[in-house]
Amino acid sequence: MKRNILALLLGGLILSLTGCKTIQASDIDAEKITFKGKNYIQTFSDDFDGDKLNSKNWEKCPEWQRQDLGGYWKNGCSYLKDGNLVIEAKKDDNTLVSGAIRSKNKFYQGYGLYKIRFKAEKTSGCWYAFWLMSETQGKIGNGSIDGAEIDIFEIISNDPNMPAGKKMYLNSAVHWDGYGAEHKSAGNQFMIDDSFYDQWHEITFEWTPEYYKAWLDDAETPYWDTTGQAEKYGGINTKPNYIKITAEFGKWGGPLKDEMLPCHLLVDWVKVYKPE
């Protein structure tokens, strides 16, 4: 018995160190898929049916103030409607509010595939994001290896710092060493245009010990690929992360335009797989 307990403890430690620890959030049929010649088994799935968020999978993010336009995450801006998760951003009287959910304390995973089907409305002064967060992101001194924020995409519609024709893009990035004086980050921009909005898209994100890659729809070439760039990104995160789906207001998203509010990100489903 002692030997079995020790084996279990050591196994859990090894999984944690390699970034492959998984906390199962709900009972699902373990679908098996092959992607780019690799076999995976499903660990998480939510198709957002019903009339309320599945509490086994998600919680609403705390109603914190976000970014530099004074906006807040607000519980009422994340809800289910017509078989979709709705992440809304709007003005509530004179306060900017937006939705945000996360799988913290419910589901974590490291290496594997993360898939999402979504539709975004064009806006300005606000952006939507699908991202992963390590509990240890704030640890200083070992790059992103011991914890990172991984932004699979942030949909930027009107970046005031970019020239005309390059203001709309999918931003993908890694942040590590906390958010204070030691904060570091690296990223990539994939240009989009007006045809991207109000259409359903699928994104597949692959996280391995060697790289991060992300594909849009059926494209053969990833829109984000860190192969051979581990040093630029502080290494590859080895720690398990939880999922976040959010919207927030900020100057990076462009000048605020009341006529473009409320705006919405609709999510049809989220699925996660681990290497088989």
The 10s digit of each residue's pLDDT in 138-164 is 999 999 999 999 999 999 999 999 999
Where does the pLDDT of residue 15 fall: very low under 50, low under 70, confident under 90, or very high at 90 and above?
very low
**Which residue, 244, 263, 267, 36, is CA-closest to 133?**
244
Rounded percentage of the chain residues whose pLDDT exceeds 70: 90
CA distance 23 to 43: 9
Q: Is the pTM of this model over 0.85?
A: yes
E strand map for the chain = 32-35, 38-46, 59-60, 65-66, 71-73, 78-81, 84-92, 95-98, 100-102, 112-120, 126-134, 149-156, 169-176, 184-191, 201-207, 212-216, 224-225, 241-249, 263-275
CB-count exposure of residue 178 (10 Å: 0-12, 13-18, 19+): middle
The residue whose two tokens read 């709309």 is 168
**Which residue, 269, 239, 242, is CA-closest to 23?**
242
The residue whose two tokens read 């204070």 is 180
CA distance 181 to 198: 39
CB neighbourhood size of 3 (10 A): 7
Residues 206-223 pLDDT 10s? 999 999 999 999 999 999
Q: Which residues pair with 271 in a beta bridge?
A: 45, 115
Task: Give the list of residues 6+ apart from residue 215 with CB closer than 8 angstroms, or none.
Answer: 203, 204, 221, 222, 223
Tell me the three state secondary structure of residue 76. Answer: helix
Phi, psi of 234, rounded to the nearest 5 degrees: 70, 20
CA distance 260 to 124: 7
CA distance 38 to 124: 39
Give the distance between the most distant pair of CA atoms in the chain: 67
CB neighbourhood size of 103 (10 A): 25
- Average pLDDT of the segment spanning 191-210: 98
CA distance 18 to 13: 9
Please state, in angstroms and as integers, the Cα–Cα distance from residue 181 to each residue in 65, 85, 140, following that order.
20, 36, 10
Residues 81-116 pLDDT 10s? 999 999 999 999 999 999 999 999 999 999 999 999
Where does the pLDDT of residue 29 fall: very low under 50, low under 70, confident under 90, or very high at 90 and above?
confident
CB-count exposure of residue 96 (10 Å: 0-12, 13-18, 19+): buried
Cα 240–Cα 238–Cα 32 angle in degrees, nearest 5: 60
